[in-house]
Amino acid sequence: VTHVPGEARLAAARDLDGMLRCDPLAARGDRERADFIRQALARGECQVHVADGVVRGFMIVRPAHFFGRDFIDLLVVDPAARRRGIGRLLLRHGLATAGTSQVFTSTNVSNQPMRSLLRAEGWFFSGELHGLDEGDPELVFYQSRRP
C-alpha cells in the first residue's frame, strides 16, 4: 500500500459511531447488525482505519474462532472511501496483529470486491460452504501471519 492517509489501530469505545456510519447496513438502521458490531467492539475484536479523525473502515477479527485460527468476520470500508487501499491496509494489519499463525476469512461467491481484494493480496482458497446463503455459496480463504 503506497500512500493511504491515516492509520489502522485497535478500535476503542469512542469509535463506535464512526464504525456504524461506515457500514451501509448499520447506517440504514439494521439493529441486529449494529448490535453485532457493538458486541465485537466490547470484546476488543475490532480494528479501525482512521484518517483525519474519521473512521473510514473497520474489521472484526475473532481470535481462534475458526478451527483454532483467527477469523476475520467482517471487513467494511465506508462506500465513500473505497478503492483507496483501506481494505488492503486493514487486511494486512489483521495479519500483522494476528494471534495465530494463520488467519481465515470467508465471503459470498457474489461478493466480487472482497474476492478481488483477497486475490490481490494473495490469499489462498480453502473451500466452499453450501447451505448458508441460498444460491450464494460461502468461499473460505486463508493467509499466513506476516509481521
In the set 16, 20, 55, 117, which binds ligand COA (CB under 6 A)? 117
Among candidates 72, 67, 82, 66, which has minimal Cα distance to 24? 82
> Is there binding between residue 84 and ligand COA (CB under 6 A)?
yes
Cβ proximity to ligand COA: between 46 and 86 the closer is 86
Question: Which segment (10-18, 73-81, 123-131, 133-141) binds ligand COA by CB under 6 A?
Answer: 73-81
In the set 38, 62, 88, 92, which binds ligand COA (CB under 6 A)? 88
H/E stretch holding 104: strand 102-108
C-alpha grid cell for residue 122? 494473495
Least Å distance between CB 59 and ligand COA? Answer: 8
> 135 — alpha (psi -120 to 50), left (phi > 0) or beta?
left
The conformation of residue 15, written as its DSSP 8-state character, comes to G
H/E stretch holding 35: helix 31-42
Query: Given the rule CB under 6 A, which residues bind ligand COA?
Result: 74-77, 82-88, 107, 111-114, 116-117, 120
